[in-house]
Amino acid sequence: MIQAIEHLNPDTLSAFVDGELPDGEQEAIQQHLAGCHVCALRVLSATELKAATARAGRRFALPPGTLARLTAQLHREPRGSLRIHSTRRVAWASLAAAMLLAVSLIGWRQLHETNTLAAELLDQHLATLSSAAAPQVISSDRHTVKPWFQGRLPFSFNLPDAPALPPDTTLKGADLAYLHGQPAALLLFTIHKHQVSVFLTQRSGDPNLVALPGVRSGFTIHSAATHDLQIVAVSDVNPADLDALVATLLRAQSPS
């Protein structure tokens, strides 16, 4: 008895990935997936697309000035103009409570965002390690790499000459990346065969970059800043070598 296999239709598959089907249907699909390789692959692929969309869609970070203005607005706005004649004590108490709340929430948010940022850095670094992902520019020549970014980034930066790099450190290529919603130059180096990702972004006064943890999942994360650039390096190479590279890049931004 041959049963015609009916594959999942795209709407059902999409709702399944979102966990939006009624229980009975969800189970029926689980059963279908157990026996249908094609649909199982499609579900896997749809799940990946969903995760990638979540990352790509979370793109526009709040500029610090905007965050401050909007938070201030939340505290300032009176509810109902007739209630403005409050006794001072209540006003001060509520103001104090609101400020405490804001401070703790901002603190929580910053911690949360710092972790997301560290995870994002690590994700992007790990992606560069997979051999399938060749960088857009493959070159060790700074005169090739730097001009490639022109028109692609709203800022520019300097790259040191090969001889100026620390020993056994090589520029491999570059790519365009987004870090925390901001465009970034991603420079790929190797130090003693260890891969290093260096992200250069415009300095936004983003406190998250300063508060990045030094080590995450065995990878070292080092950051430094010039007047208008933020440099963040991620690698599993030893921290001293990573420091040397970051220092060289910093020096290159202020040619004497």
Partner 1 sequence: MFRSEALLGVPIQFRGSSQRQTLDNVVSAARSADFEQLALPLLASLYNHAFWLTRNHAEAEDLVQETFSKALRAFDSFQADTNFKGWIFRILRNTFFTSRSGIAASRTVFLEDHPHALETPDTSSTPEDNLIRLDNQAALQRALEQLEPPLREALLLCDVEEVKYRDIALILDIPIGTVMSRISRARRALRQLLQLQLGESQ
| 229/237 Cα distance (integer angstroms) | 23
Pick 180 or 241: Cβ nearer partner 1: 180
Site for partner 1 contains 10 (CB under 8 A): yes
- Name the DSSP letter for residue 133: -
3-state SS, residue 154: coil
Long-range pairs for 151-154: beta carbons < 8 A, 24 or more residues apart: 152/176, 152/183, 153/183, 153/184, 153/185, 154/183, 154/202
Q: Among 30, 58, 228, 238, indicate the residue that binds partner 1 (CB under 8 A).
A: 58
Give 6 or 31: the residue with its C-beta nearer to partner 1: 6
Task: Single out the residue of 111, 133, 138, 164 in contact with partner 1 (rule: CB under 8 A).
Answer: 133
What size, in residues, is the chain?
256
The span of 80-88, 201-209, 237-245, 246-254 binding partner 1 (CB under 8 A) equals 80-88
In whole angstroms, the minimum distance from the beta carbon of 79 to partner 1 comes to 5
* Contacting residues for 238 by C-beta, under 8 A, at least 6 apart: 220
Q: Rounded to an integer, what distance in angstroms lies between the CA atom of residue 195 and that of residue 184?
A: 18
For position 5 contacting partner 1 by CB under 8 A, the verdict is no
Considering the rule CB under 8 A, would residue 124 count as an interface residue with partner 1? yes
Could you say which of 24, 80, 151, 154 contacts partner 1 (CB under 8 A)?
80
Partner residues linked to 219 by β-bridges:
216
What is the residue type of 140? Answer: S
Cβ at position 244, least distance to partner 1 in Å: 29
Q: Binding to partner 1 by residue 132, rule CB under 8 A?
A: yes
Is 153 a binding residue for partner 1 by CB under 8 A? The answer is no
Instruction: Say how many residues touch partner 1, by CB under 8 A.
Output: 65
* Share in percent of the chain as helix, strand, coil (round to 5): 50, 20, 30
Q: How far does CA 151 lie from the centroid of its chain?
A: 22
Q: Where are the beta strands (DSSP E) in the chain?
A: 137-138, 169-179, 182-191, 194-202, 215-216, 219-225, 229-235
Please state the closest distance from residue 168 (CB atom) to partner 1, in A. 28
Residue with tokens 């405490």: 100
Query: Quick check: 4 binds partner 1 (CB under 8 A)?
Result: no
Among 86, 156, 170, 238, binds partner 1 (CB under 8 A): 86
Any contact of residue 135 with partner 1 (CB under 8 A)? Answer: no
Question: If you search the block for the tokens 């399938």, which residue do you land on?
Answer: 132
Binding site for partner 1 (CB under 8 A): 7, 10-11, 13-15, 18, 20, 38, 41-42, 44-46, 48-50, 52-63, 66-67, 69-71, 73-75, 77, 79-80, 83, 85-87, 90-91, 93-94, 97-98, 101-102, 105-106, 109, 113, 124, 127, 130, 132-133, 176-178, 181
